Structure 1
Amino acid sequence: MYVKKNYNLRETFFNSGKHLFWLTPYALLIALLYRYTALHEFSLPWLPLSLIGTAVTFYVGFKNNQAYDRLWEARTVWGGIVNSSRMWGSNIKAFVVPAASSPAAGEGLPEQKRALIYRHIAWLYQLRRQLLEPTAWEHISLPGVYRRDAEEKSQKMGLGLFGEDVTEDRLQRYLSSAEQAALPTYKNAAAQLIDQQSEHLARLRKAGHVGDVEHVALQGILNDFYEHQGKAERIKKTPFPRQFASFGFVMVCIFIAMLPFGFFSEFAKIGDNGIWLAVPFVILISWVYVVMELVGDYSENPFEGLANDVPMLALSRTIEIDLLQQLGETDLPAPIQPINHVLL
């Protein structure tokens, strides 16, 4: 998540300025052909060109709006994880108590509470790891220039800024050796960690450390975690409808290809040098449409590990700190800070 108010000039160029390297030669090439060949006999009237431009604008605007909805829904899901996690820690502290039939049997309850909260922290990092696994339609999985561009963005304004992934370290800290060894055997390790929490609660209930009403309340929070995880997985594993994404890109390309033939014919009316005056306008308008396309393209996958994604690492660390403080621990990890104005 980019946390500065505005991109500076360098960041703007890094994200979209590379497209000027093909927009500028294209506009100049058409200008040269239009000025010195019979191409000047071909021109497009403003009316159909403006209609196409308007249609493309509405189409790309709709696409961007839907891409933003996916991004905001993903952030809302993680907001729900934050709230439910705090409730989990607070309720574990309050509801796990010595059994009424044998109060002396409650000596090991602090360790039981710690295990339940530690396992939840591990779930946060494991879920993040699973959501960052590339899918076939994300930029990092595409061939050629798309992949190279995504890798560069990841290194300079994404996961690469934060060095090695901290997930393995957190799993080793918060899970037992047996739990760590079992994780690679699961198809969905995060879901299995929630299931282990449920089994742990059942054992505590059987031992009389959790009442029936309290057990229902705690199991309800676990069900919320299942729901939050399912929503995040739905966003991750369901691509933005390709008919909208693909045809939006095609329409922008068609409009940019047609744009010079409408501009040059109009500016040629000024005089022989009018065509050269039109070149910067063609480049600027084309770049604006490219940027509109890029905004939606890089917003539709909110768990890709790039600059505008949901800051899952920062949110996981915030929850981790809150839960450790609920346990009364003082050896707390530092909050995740933005690097180059990017928070992940």
Structure 2
Amino acid sequence: MLIVQNIRLSRVLIDTWKVDLIMIISCTAAYFVREYLIAHHFQISAIIPTVLGTAIAFFIGFNNNQAYDRWWEARKIWGAIVNDSRSLARNLINFVEDQETANRMVCRHISFIYALKANLRSTVDEIYTKYLTEFDKQDVERHSNKHNAILNIQAMELQRLYKENKIDGFKFMEINEMLVKLTDSMGGCERIKNTIFPTTYSYLTKVFIWLFVVTFTLVISQDMGYWSIFMGWLIGFVFVSTQINGMRLVNPFDNKSSGLPLNHICRTIEINLLQMLREEDIPEPIKPINNEYIL
């Protein structure tokens, strides 16, 4: 996630240089086609790029709004996970008489957080095993959905505490409600990850942008000559960079500067819960990269 107010132009150019190069080639080709083929036969009406530009504005606006909605919903879900994690740890530490079991369940929850993060980012991250017992590791490894398996172990542990009268019915319901909320948040994250953004919208937007760049260059070359190549690229750059940067939010869990800072969020939860357990070996917070973004 970007943490700076101003984005360097170099970063935008790094993200779009390939498309910029193709646009310059397209604008150059359009100029020569108009100069040596079309100019002697007819003029191209300015209404064509005008209509295309209007259509592109609608498509880019819709795409970016939907992409940001996905990103913001994912951020709200992880904000809820942070709050529910603290509440779960507080309830376990203060409600459960068996402190050894309570501490084990809090550590197991840290494992759940890291397992969920690894799944959302489709990475092989074994850090979650650090907070599991050997028995838990063997049980979790049998499941493809490891974070769900960890929650299941938490529920079984909670049920055992209730049967052994180490917590009463009210406290059992309070802690179980936290597990239910975490399950809902987990499902929300999986829904966002597994729901593909409609490809027709992004595809048509790209097609319209290229048609606009070519027709715009053809029209203005009638008055600007070879300078139309630069102007065609410049106007196209505005549309392309806006579309690319908006679509970067479509997958909020990707491990990149525009994605959610899951490393930072997970480490924050880990630090908070370990401090609640009065542990001394506390990891350092995740630091920003180049003081520009945080993962």
Match for residue 131 of structure 1?
Answer: 120
Pair 42,198 (structure 1): closer, same or farther in 2 beyond 3 Å: farther
For 1:259, the aligned partner's letter is: F
Supply the distance in 2 between the matched residues of 1:186 and 1:180 (Cα, whole angstroms): 10
Supply the distance in 2 between the matched residues of 1:222 and 1:320 (Cα, whole angstroms): 17
| 5+ long unaligned stretches in structure 1 | 98-108, 135-164, 268-273
For 2:69, the aligned partner's letter is: D
Match for residue 159 of structure 1?
Answer: none
| 5+ long unaligned stretches in structure 2 | none
The answer to whether the 8 Å contact 1:302/1:308 transfers is yes
Where does 1:67-106 land on structure 2 (aligned, <5 Å)?
A: 67-97=67-97
Listed one character per residue, the Cα deviations across residues 264-283 of structure 1 (whole Å, up to 9, x for unaligned) are: 12x1xxxxxx3122221111
For 1:91, the aligned partner's letter is: N
Supply the distance in 2 between the matched residues of 1:260 and 1:129 (Cα, whole angstroms): 46
Supply the distance in 2 between the matched residues of 1:255 and 1:66 (Cα, whole angstroms): 23
Q: Compute the displacement of 1:69 (Å).
A: 0.3
Pair 291,322 (structure 1): closer, same or farther in 2 beyond 3 Å: same
Match for residue 302 of structure 1?
Answer: 252
Where does 1:102-181 land on structure 2 (aligned, <5 Å)?
A: 109-133=98-122, 167-168=125-126, 170-181=127-138
For 2:220, the aligned partner's letter is: F
Listed one character per residue, the Cα deviations across residues 141-180 of structure 1 (whole Å, up to 9, x for unaligned) are: xxxxxxxxxxxxxxxxxxxxxxxx7x31x32320011222
Q: Does 1:186 align with 2:143?
A: yes
Q: Does 1:26 align with 2:15?
A: no
Match for residue 160 of structure 1?
Answer: none
Supply the distance in 2 between the matched residues of 1:247 and 1:111 (Cα, whole angstroms): 58
The answer to whether the 8 Å contact 2:114/2:128 transfers is yes
Pair 214,279 (structure 1): closer, same or farther in 2 beyond 3 Å: same
Supply the distance in 2 between the matched residues of 1:115 and 1:42 (Cα, whole angstroms): 79
Match for residue 286 of structure 2?
Answer: 336
Q: Compute the displacement of 1:296 (Å).
A: 2.7
The answer to whether the 8 Å contact 2:217/2:231 transfers is no
Match for residue 182 of structure 2?
Answer: 225
Pair 53,92 (structure 1): closer, same or farther in 2 beyond 3 Å: same
Match for residue 213 of structure 1?
Answer: 170
Match for residue 319 of structure 1?
Answer: 269
Identity, in percent, stands at 29
Q: Compute the displacement of 1:254 (Å).
A: 2.1
TM-score normalised over the length of structure 2: 0.94
Q: Compute the displacement of 1:298 (Å).
A: 1.4
Count matched residues.
293
Q: Compute the displacement of 1:323 (Å).
A: 0.4
Supply the distance in 2 between the matched residues of 1:195 and 1:24 (Cα, whole angstroms): 56
The answer to whether the 8 Å contact 1:89/1:323 transfers is yes
Q: Compute the displacement of 1:42 (Å).
A: 4.4
For 2:245, the aligned partner's letter is: V
Match for residue 54 of structure 2?
Answer: 54
Pair 43,132 (structure 1): closer, same or farther in 2 beyond 3 Å: farther
Q: Compute the displacement of 1:215 (Å).
A: 0.3
Q: Compute the displacement of 1:30 (Å).
A: 2.3
Pick from 206, 216, 220 the counterpart of residue 259 of structure 1: 216
The answer to whether the 8 Å contact 2:252/2:258 transfers is yes
Pick from 274, 284, 287 the counterpart of residue 234 of structure 2: 284
RMSD of aligned residue pairs (Cα, Å) = 1.6
The answer to whether the 8 Å contact 2:27/2:213 transfers is no
Supply the distance in 2 between the matched residues of 1:232 and 1:197 (Cα, whole angstroms): 20
Pick from 197, 203, 206 the counterpart of residue 160 of structure 2: 203
Report runs of 4+ in structure 1 exceeding 3 Å deviation: none
Listed one character per residue, the Cα deviations across residues 94-129 of structure 1 (whole Å, up to 9, x for unaligned) are: 1102xxxxxxxxxxx222111100000000000001
Supply the distance in 2 between the matched residues of 1:172 and 1:55 (Cα, whole angstroms): 51
The answer to whether the 8 Å contact 2:31/2:218 transfers is no
For 1:59, the aligned partner's letter is: F
TM-score normalised over the length of structure 1: 0.81
| Partner SS state of residue 66, structure 2 | helix
| Partner SS state of residue 310, structure 1 | coil
For 1:276, the aligned partner's letter is: Y
For 1:284, the aligned partner's letter is: L
The answer to whether the 8 Å contact 1:71/1:301 transfers is yes
Q: Compute the displacement of 1:51 (Å).
A: 1.6
